[in-house]
């Protein structure tokens, strides 16, 4: 499914989306180089991320767009966006304000180490 979007068609043509019209977006801090979180973007979330410079995602659970930090104030100022060789994953480098995780951890990967 592809929702209506203002995404640049030359970018849209390179995206390979899953059955729900989404690609995973890896969010990395441009300063610490920590991987902060992974969110999901459809064409319009990517368009908003590129055009507003704010990390914007599609919530699979709520089926709605959300802007990182909209309620918490822990915003992501987007510095760089890259598409991978297969066109099915994004890497977004950001200046993160405050902790990136809703738990208060700096990253979403801080709490559960398997190895």
- Give the residue with the Cβ less far from its own copies, 88 or 97: 88
Size of the site for its own copies (CB under 8 A): 36
32-51 footprint of its own copies as x/- string (CB under 8 A): -x-x-xx-------x---x-
- 61, two tokens: 């659970």
What minimum distance in Å lies between the beta carbon of 64 and its own copies? 17
Element (H, E) at 48: helix 43-52
> For tokens 């908003």, what's the residue?
48
- Phi-psi region at 9: left, alpha or beta (left = phi > 0; alpha = psi -120 to 50): alpha
Could you say whether residue 78 binds its own copies (CB under 8 A)?
Answer: yes
* 70 binds its own copies per the rule CB under 8 A: no
């Amino acid at each position: 499914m592809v929702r209506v979007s203002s995404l640049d068609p030359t970018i849209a043509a390179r995206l390979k989306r899953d059955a729900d019209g989404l690609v995973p977006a890896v969010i990395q801090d441009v300063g610490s180089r920590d991987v902060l979180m992974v969110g999901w973007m459809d064409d319009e979330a990517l368009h908003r991320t590129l055009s507003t410079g704010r990390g914007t995602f599609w919530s699979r659970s709520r089926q709605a767009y959300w802007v990182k930090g909209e309620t918490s104030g822990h915003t992501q100022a987007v510095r760089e966006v890259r598409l991978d060789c297969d066109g099915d994953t994004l890497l977004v480098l950001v200046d993160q304000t405050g902790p990136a995780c809703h738990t208060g951890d700096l990253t979403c990967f801080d709490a559960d180490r398997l190895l």
